[in-house]
Structures are given as C-alpha cells and as structure tokens.
Chains A and B, each alone.
Chain A
C-alpha cells in the first residue's frame, strides 16, 4: 500500500506502453483497452479517497526514493488535502474524455490513446510530486502529449495553436526552472545546508529568504502558473488552444491542465514565499478580478461556441485565483472546490460543444437555433450544465463562487471592493451563457441542416451522466468534498492569520466599516510557516 500512489501515477504509462504492442488496425480493442486502463486508474484512486485521513493536514500516501544522490534529488510523491481532489478529478475525467472521443477521433487512434494516457501520467505526477525537480519534469512532460493532441488531432489552425500553447507555457516554466535551481542553491548556502529540491525542506527555508529575492522567486514561479491558469493578461493562448484542440483535449485542458496553475500557486508560490505573497496580493487580486469581468464580457460577444466557453474559463479561474489570494479558509476552500467545479462544468460544456460539432462540423452560433425541437435530451443536459456554470444555488458552481466571494470579502488582507467587482461576474455569467443557450437551443429551426439531428446516443449519455451526478452532488452536499481539504486549508491559513486581530469578526456595532487593507502581519508570524510539515 505504501506505493499505491506510484502505482496510480504510472499505471497509465504502463497501459500506454502496452498499447504500442497492439496492431493499429484493431481500433476498437485499443479504445477499449485505453478506457479500461483509465477506469482502473480511477478505481485505484478511490482507494486514496477512502484511505485518506481528513483530520491530517499533512502529506499522506508518501513514497520517497532517493534518485540523484549527488544533487539530493529524490522521487518523492504524496498527497494532502490540496491534491487529493485534483488527483481524483484527473482520474475521473480521463476515462470520460477517452469515451467522448470514441467516434470523433478517426485517424491514428493508437497514438491518440497513448498520448491521452501519457498525459494522465503527467497530470497525476504534477499533483503529487513533492520534489521540485520531479514536479518540473512532470510539468514539462505533460506538455508533450498535449502538444501532439492539439497539433495532430486538432482543427484547421492546429499547428499555430499547438506551438502557441507550447511556447507560451515553456516561456513561463523556464523562469520557474531557474527559480527552482536558485532555491536549491540557496538551501546549500544555509548553515549545514546542502543543495535540495525537497519541497518539505524548502517550505522551511523559503520564508527566510530576504524579501527582495523572495519577490523575484515569487514572480518567476507565479508567472509560470499565471500563464497556465490563465490569469489575465496571459490568457490568449487559451482560446486558440481550445478552439483547435479535439473535444477530449479541450476537456482535459480545461478540466485539469488549467488547475495546475492554481494548484501551483497554492502549493508553491504562496507557502514558499509568504512575504512576497503579501506584497503582490493586491496585484494578483486585481488581475483576478479584471479577468473575471473581462473574461465574461469577451466571452459574451464570441461567435464560436468553443471560444465562448474558453473565455468563460478565464472568468471562472479568476474566481479561483481571487479565492486563493484571499488567504481565508472560506476563500481557499472555495477555490479548491471551484477548481473541481470548473473541471466538471466546463469539461461538460466542452463535451456538449463537441457533441454538436460532431453532428454539424461547425461551432458557429449562428448556424444553430431551435435544437430543443430535435434534441430535447441534449437541451436538458446543456441547460443543467449551463446553470451549474452560471452558479445556480443547488448546483456545484454556486458553492465555489459563494465561498470564494465570502472568503475574499472577509479577508483581512484585501479591500472589499475586490469582492464587489468580482460579484458582478455573477451577472455577466448569466448573460453570456443564457444568450448562447437561447441562440443555439431556443426558437424555430432556421437552418434546414439542423432539421434531422439525432438526439444523444447511449454512449453520449454515459459520458455526461457521471459528470452531472457530481454537479448535483457538490451542489447539494458539498461537505463530502469540502471536508477532504478542510484541515490542509486550515493549516495554510493559520500560518497567515494575523495574531493581533483575533476578534476581528465580532466587531462591535457602530464601528466604522474598514475598507482598507489591514496592516500586514509581522514577518515573524509567517516565518514560522509550515513547521508542522
């Protein structure tokens, strides 16, 4: 059992390698095998879920083996409350993505299935690596299959999109690599220190770095993550990548890959460089809020459904970043659950867009209209998913958005105006999604090509129903998931809590509401960061 996590991470790799031995003509067998492997991975990951001790804020299922002894680099994986849900999301979405591409991928099925499985390895590795070097390898390795998925199985302008995606991300990650090396080097300059990339050790060292250098480190890491999120204004790779990627690629891209950015912020930028985090918090929050509104507005005027959903991700991920930098329990809990929510809702939206694309080979909104007549079941699913994305209470999106906004509003570190502006995103979300829904689904069928469209097949229902199940589950009973990350979140927040203002929330009546950013906590408070780890 101690190696369980390693088995889960590398099972898709083994599966992918085995597919090499398949005859490329046996398309169905390859598809079935690919799905079987990913389902098995999911089932194994359930063991993580059920074996996870929610009371323990620290790392669990850790597996550590020394790898490069001269540099003190080890293969070190493990999960805590932050990563558990994201690991589960990955193992959950991969089989769905594979199943969704049953018909839509026609060429090179063998390579495609291998790439998808390799991609899963990269993603799982990113979410469980506890060694910076190992993290970097997974982080970069995952680019390669994604590059091919967009570049080989994508749409008309796929090469441009694939290269843009690759170079954009690469640009950020190189700076991160420099920062990782510098961190390791800095560790060796400490008394009795040696070069290390071990995250747990760096957690103790990071906060002792002088602020100026911390700021540079923070920026190097954060730029890399901000591109991945994508945080405004580093988002322009996303619409292109999404539009050109095949459906399954978009599902994974939106569902999991973007979360690597927000996960990175929570895992590295913030705990490693706490003082710098305070310095940059207003800027990060500003970019997040601008992204929320900007993403929504630009999304509203898109003519291509897929691009619309892509821009909506900018808006949704803006919420996540805002929640993270609120540094309150509600905010971070909201951000974590919202990462899952966005994976489910936007993933489902891409699946839905893919389904009509397969039927009509266009994604232009004007080509559609009146689909409710011919595809009632499809329309129902589309409605529920849209509502989830809009943040209707009772469905998943609301829980995340509400917690994030609440957490940001009561954050002692940021002005309440951030929340007030961010909350307008709730209005715009309704505008862009209901508008596109109206234009695609409602009204009379004006285009004869839509007259004979078939409603969802059994396979398509099987793809959507599991996602829908969780959309409702998280909306009605989010505690199942919130409790998984609760104690880890609490530990992160506690290290930031200003000690002097313990009674902040029970302020007496009549006092003037303060809209100012509270004074920064003493450095010593955050220097004691993560001793527990």
Chain B
C-alpha cells in the first residue's frame, strides 16, 4: 500500500494544474469539486496506508519509496524519494484531512470571488508542497516543500493584492496585502538561509542529505555536545523560527492574516506553520546530540509562547488575536521539543490543527456574516444569529483553554508536565501563566464576538453560514473534543497511544536524552489540577470583565496605559526591525552603494580616465599646429639636442 504514496503527492499537483491552466473556464462548482476531491482522495489513500501500517509489526512500518534521481553532481546525489513512516503518515493525515475540510469550506467562503479557480489552484499547490515537506526522505526535498509552502503562503496572503491592509503599526493606511505577502516571504527566507547552511554542514559531515543515513551515522559517531552539531541544529532552528513564527522571526505571521480566512486556517494555523515543529521532531536525533540547542529551542519556545499571548490580550482584530494565539501555541510545541518531549510536541501539532483551524473557520464565518468586519469591538451578540458557528467556536475555545476532556487539555498538559519533569520549574511556571492568559484572551474573544450587547449597525443582518461551511466546522469540533483521546497519559489510565505510535521515530533521540521521570504521580496530578484551575480562572475573569464589567476594562486600560500601549503595538518589534535593519539597508544601498560607490567612484574612475585621455590628447594636439616652419624648427632643435647628448657623452 505504501507504494501509493507517490499518488498522494501527485494528486494535489494534478488538481493544481487542472485548475491553474483551465480553471478560468470552469464554473465555481466544478473548480471547487476538482480542488476538494484532489485532496479528499489523497486523504482517503493516506487513511488506507495508515490502516495497513497499523496491521504491520512495528519494525516493518517504515518504507522509503524512490521516484527518481533528482540532482546528481559530484558526490551529491539527491533522490526524489518519500519516506512513509509513523511520523510522516500522521502529518499527512493532518495535512490532507484538515486540508480537505478547509477546501470544502472554501467553496462556500470564496463564493462569488473572481479568482475562485485560482484560489483552489493555489490551495492544491500548497497541499502538494506540504506533502513534499512532510514525506521527503532527505533534507533537500524537504527544503523544496519548505520553500514551496512559503511560495503558496506568499501567493495566498497576497491573494487580494490590491486590498488595503491594516498592519496595526508601521506603514499605517498605505499597506496592502501584497506588503504582508512579501514580508512573509522575505522573513521566511532569512530562516531558509539558516536551513541552507545547516544542510551544507550536514553534507560536509556525513556526505549525504538522506535522513536515515544522516540520523544513523550521527547517532553512531557524534558525541553529545559536538560543536558542529550545535551549529547544525541551531541553524535548522533558525529555519524553524522563520516558518513557525518564533522569536525573532515571528513578525510575518500577524500580517499574514491579510490573506483570505481559509488560508489563515490551513496555512497559518493548522499546517504550514507547524512545519518547523515537524522538522525539529524529524531531526530529533541531531537535537538530542546538541543539548545546548535543545535548551535554546525550549527557551525560545516558552518566551514566544508568553510574549505572543500577552500581545493577544489587547488586540481587537479577530484574526490577529488568533494569529498571536497561534504563535503562542507554536511556542508551546517548541517548548515540548526543547525538553525532549518530541511526541508531545507532535501531539500538540495535531490537536492544535483541529481547534485552531476550527477557530479560524469560525472567525471566517463571522467575518462573512459581518460583511468583512474584523473588529470584535464592533461585534457582540452573534450567538443567536449564528448558533452553529457559536457552539463550535465555543468548543474550540474550551479546547485551547485546556479544559478537560477536550483535546487541548491532553496535549498542552503533556507538554507542561514534561517541561516540569525534564526541563525546569521556570518553564512550567511561565507555561502555566501563559495557559491562563490563553484562556483569558480566548474568552475575551468569545464574549466580545458572540455574547453581550450587539454593537453593530443593523443594516448588516448577520446570518448563519451555509451548510458547506458549517459541516466542516462541526467535524472539526468533534475532532477538537475527541482528538485528545489518543494521548491520554498513563497517569489518567490511558495508554498514550500517540506516544507509543511515534516511539520508533524518537527511539534514537531518546537513547541520547536523559529523560527520567523523576517526579512522581502525585506531582503529575497536582500540576494537572493547577493547569485546569488556571484555565478555568482565565475563562472566569474574561467573562466577568467583558460581559459584566465593561467599564472596569476601560479603567484598567487607562490606568495601565503604558503597558497597554506596549502590548497594543506588539512591543514595537516591527518598528525596531524597520529602523535597525530595513531602512539602513535600503538607504545605504541607494545612497552609498549605488549613487556613491557605483556611479560616483567606479564610473567616476572609468569616465575620468576617458576624460583624462581626451584632455591629454587635446593638449598633445597643440603640437600639431600645421605650420611647416614650426615643424622644421622642432626638427632642428631635436637634432641639436641629440647631437649635443652624443658629443657630451
């Protein structure tokens, strides 16, 4: 069955070609069906492969399917080959499953858009690239997917390229979605620079870029704490911070919300942004050999989780709040990876894909109903108008807030527990506070959007979304509820099926990690209770404040004006980058390099030497007066001088 993997990758690409080349002539319905079924069939095949893998004994579950030799030069030989194993099939299921639902949803959401067919073509291309990313059996093919999803992200953020876009800070009023798209691509490229150099180091060290070879050799011969391995993992992580929007490269993701909402759900929440997490998990062996890098991953993760959550507290754009929430949740995942809880990180990738996709799609339904209004201050009371959206959104909010037994509880708790037992208390405390903040800003969002007074003008007539949009919401809601059951920890009597499933993938890494669960069961229960408590508290205060005491919110805002301003402006990171990096480079290139050096100095010398020649010539020309007697005179003088020299000598 696994040999069908090439069809999995190929189908979305065919969908892309069909819609991309002929789409203009298709009806919306046809385009939508082509696009959705390309992903739907893919998902079905993935499910079949998955079930077959389940039947096989553990050691026979991993396969490599080689399609053709991609690049061969010198000692480099890269195959277009796919690795079907426990990790990649799980990611494939998430990408195609959630992807399929979002495709279906988009049929309703993009209805009436001129670029309907183009939208589906790009979405299919994205799925194709994402599948290459997760299924690749080597770094270079993964890099193809890695950059490819970046391209799709670029194309889709700027899908409505002439639309004005509020960046909430710099360039106010004049930015369009194409600015956001370009920013996303360029920031990602900075990360990709790290990825590239890491690949060179890996190739230098191991003479190959194929995962299996690299990992087995690394595991066998590299000692823990190797310097080169530190640089490799750190540079790979730089790539991850770009793709997965972590400090310092997170700045593109909030702006990426300029794209159509299904794009935000699929690319900027459920799948693409988790690519960094996937990559680090895939390279778990390498990280296990570089404890310093692990530490950095964990610190960056927890710091991002916390700071993004604080920024999410005060935003008013429904999608921006979700964007900061995504950054924050990704931070959790990296925290998990950083403390060696690779399976927990991937588990959170999965549950997050369910509830965050659901949140975004719900937000999309709201934006649709409110005629492109995204400011939650101008919403309220939508609960009765859009019951299905409200209910599913509420479930997702509970899931992300970590309320048991919803999926988010299990995955987040697993990470926090591992952060405590294998990391440090500090990680746990910050993670725990962040969990409270998460619950708070999510229910601030729910309260302001769906509950309380209606703050919109009544010519809007919001109404529930069509079935094609609500059915995916309901499916995702179910998944958000039950998705966590595959990872019920032993402490609660579960088998942690997902950890077991992924165990062979992380076996090598775990060999090198000193992960003893020294803390006892009591501690685990205690921490669990603590995190449920903080989640409930966050929900309670949010509802209390925003539903019952709106004037208190006002008062708090004014009395903590400076903090509010700092958070509102996202710690001025964009402005700082602009002033310290972007402007100096652009200005310097223009004034110094081009006009100063190129035109001034180099061409100055070139044209100057031409002028000098002309000047010398014009001076020399004076010798040629044309009067014969003068020539004769010079002639005689010359002879006299020569004779004089000869005689005197």
Contact = CB atoms under 8 A, between A and B. Distances in A.
A442 B158 contact: yes
A167 to B, nearest CB: 8
Contacts of B205: 507, 509
B553 interface: no
A438 B594 contact: no
B221 A508 contact: yes
Contacts of B603: 236
B519 interface: no
A297 B597 CA distance: 12
Interface stretch (A14-22, A145-153, A474-482): A474-482
B71 A479 contact: yes
Contact of B594 (A301, A387, A426, A510): A301
Contacts of A282: none
Contact of B151 (A387, A402, A405, A512): A387
Nearest to B158: A442
B147 A443 contact: no
Contacts of B185: 430, 434
Contact of A370 (B154, B162, B196, B197): B162
B606 A423 contact: no
Interface residues on B, range: 35 or more
- Mostly, the A contact residues are helix
Contact of A330 (B76, B147, B151, B585): B76
B171 to A, nearest CB: 13
Contacts of A394: 144, 148
Interface string A462-498: 0000000000000011110011001001100100000
Contacts of B190: 427
Interface stretch (A104-112, A406-414, A521-529): A406-414
Given A372-B161, A427-B190, A513-B227, A479 B140 contact: no
B500 interface: no
Interface in B183-218: 185-186, 189-190, 192-193, 196-197, 199-201, 203-205, 207
Nearest to B289: A509
Contacts of A199: none
Nearest to A443: B162
Nearest to A373: B162
Contacts of B610: 167
Contacts of B221: 508-509
Interface residues of A, number: 68
Contacts of B598: 236, 298
B580 interface: no
Nearest to B588: A297
A117 B158 CA distance: 44
A405 B589 contact: no
Interface in A279-310: 294, 297-298, 300-302
B373 interface: no
Nearest to A329: B74
Contacts of A329: 73-75
Interface string B586-604: 1011100110001000110
A472 B62 CA distance: 31
A363 interface: no
Contact of A424 (B151, B181, B193, B223): B193
B74 A328 contact: yes
A416 B196 CA distance: 13
A430 B151 CA distance: 11
Contacts of B70: 476-479
A426 B151 contact: no
Contact of A334 (B73, B590, B594): B73
B143 interface: yes
A29 interface: no
A263 B590 CA distance: 32
A100 B488 CA distance: 66
A392 interface: yes
B226 interface: yes
A410 B228 contact: no
B229 to A, nearest CB: 8
Contacts of A402: 71, 140, 196
A370 B199 CA distance: 38
Interface string B157-188: 01001100000000000001011011001100
A164 interface: yes
A387 B228 CA distance: 32
Interface string A262-288: 000000000000000000000000000
A17 to B, nearest CB: 35
Contacts of A405: 196, 200
A333 interface: yes
Contact of A406 (B76, B182, B226, B585): B76
B617 interface: no
The 5 A-B residue pairs with the shortest CB-CB distance, nearest first, are: A329-B74, A393-B144, A442-B161, A442-B178, A297-B589
22 contacts: A235-B602, A236-B598, A236-B606, A237-B606, A300-B586, A329-B75, A333-B74, A393-B144, A402-B71, A410-B204, A427-B193, A434-B185, A434-B186, A435-B182, A441-B161, A442-B158, A443-B176, A479-B71, A486-B73, A490-B74, A510-B226, A513-B227
Given A298-B593, A300-B586, A330-B73, 9 more contacts: A330-B76, A373-B162, A402-B196, A406-B199, A410-B203, A423-B196, A426-B192, A438-B182, A482-B73
